[in-house]
Structure 1
Amino acid sequence: MKRIVAVIREEMFENVKEALLDAGCEGMNVSTVKGMGKQLGISQSYRGSKRCIDLIPKTRLELIVNEEDLDRLVDVIVENSRTGEVGDGKIFVSDVEEVIRIRTGERGSDAI
C-alpha cells in the first residue's frame, strides 16, 4: 500500500476531486494548509503599499491506495492540477506498512 500526499492550488481542488472519484478513488482526506516552495510567495499591493505574502494557501490531499492503483491516481492528480505555472504543487509518495479499519478490525487492502 502507498500513501499519496498532494499539495495543490486551492482553485484546482474540485477538478482533482471529481477526477479522482471518476477514477475509482474510494476516499481521501483533505485539509487547507499554507506553505512555500520555489515560488517564495507573492507580492500584492494593498492601499498603495507592497506586501509580500510568503505562505501561500494550498489544499492538501492524502490518499492511501493499493500499489497497482498508484501510477494511475498520481497521473489523475497531475493532469487535473497542472497549470504550467510556478506554484502548481507537489506530490509525495510513501510506503504504508499497515491499515486497520477501526469499525470492523479489517487489515491491509481490505481496510482501504
Structure 2
Amino acid sequence: MQCYQHNENVSVGLCKACQKAVCSVCATDTGRGLACSEPCSREVGVLNEIIDRSKQIYGIGSRSKLPPTGILFYLFFALVSLGVGLYPLTYGKPVEWFLVLMGSGFLVFGTMSYVRTRKLRLNC
C-alpha cells in the first residue's frame, strides 16, 4: 500500500483517526497509534481517551470480588419479591404466587447475567 500523500513511498501503517495509509515521513507516533497530521494527532488522543474511559466504565481488565451492580439489583428484587410473596405463609394465608414467580424470574435472570458478565470479563 502506498502513502496517501507520497505515492512513491510505501506505507508503514494507517492513521488511527482517518485510516489513511502513511509513510515514515508522514507518520507521527503518538505512543498509542499513528497520526498523519496535527489535527489527526489530537483526534488520536481523543480516541484513546474514549477507549480508556470505556474500559473503566465496563470494568474491562479489572478484577473485583463483588458481583456487578446490575446483578446485585436482580438479587435484591428477587429477595424482596420472594419474601413478600411467601410472607403470608407465616399467618396461614395463601402464597402470593405472582410475586414468587416474579422473584424466581429475577433469580434466574440474575444468575444468567452473572454467568455472562464473568464469561465476557465485564464488571458492570
TM-score of the aligned structures, taking structure 2 as reference length: 0.21
More strand by share: 1
TM-score of the aligned structures, taking structure 1 as reference length: 0.22
More helix by share: 2
* Bigger Rg over Cα: 2
